[in-house]
Amino acid sequence: MPVVLYGCETLSLTLREERKLRVFGNKVLRRIFGSRRDEVTGEWRRLHNEEINDLYSPSIVRVIKSRRMRWVGHVAHVSEERGVYRVLVGNRRERTTGETWA
């Protein structure tokens, strides 16, 4: 999962992308936790989503959103001259050609 989460602070996720990330995260966790033996039939089966959530509570989307908020807090303390701050806040600045950007 660290590979997926690298640089996630700057991602802008749509609902469709969030769903795909949840599916991927559950697939990885199913692989990690393995199968379970059904108590009634005694057969092996895959874990259900609720069981995965009980074993590992933070979803990948929640982790991305919390990292994004931590990054925003960090950028808020950066000086106004830095490009990251200007992009986040939307401070317009005149270029030498007279164009502006937000």
Name the nearest CA neighbour of 25 among 57, 54, 59, 2: 59
| Rounded-to-integer distance, Cα 92 and Cα 56, Å | 43
Average pLDDT, the chain: 81
**What average pLDDT does range 93-99 have in this prediction?**
57
**What average pLDDT does range 44-53 have in this prediction?**
90
> Domain range for residue 32?
2-89
Any idea which of 18-22, 36-40, 47-51, 71-75 has the lowest mean pLDDT?
71-75
pLDDT at residue 5 is higher than 70 = yes
| Residue 42 included in any domain | yes
| Residue 102 included in any domain | no
Name the nearest CA neighbour of 59 among 21, 13, 14, 97: 21
| Rounded-to-integer distance, Cα 90 and Cα 101, Å | 8
| Residue 99 included in any domain | no
**What average pLDDT does range 32-61 have in this prediction?**
89
| Rounded-to-integer distance, Cα 32 and Cα 35, Å | 9
Q: Which residues pair with 44 in a beta bridge?
A: 37
| Residue 53 included in any domain | yes
| Residue 24 included in any domain | yes
pLDDT at residue 99 is higher than 70 = no
pLDDT at residue 85 is higher than 90 = no
| Rounded-to-integer distance, Cα 86 and Cα 79, Å | 9
pLDDT value of residue 15:
92
| Residue 44 included in any domain | yes
Looking at the 3D structure of the chain, how many domains does it have? 1
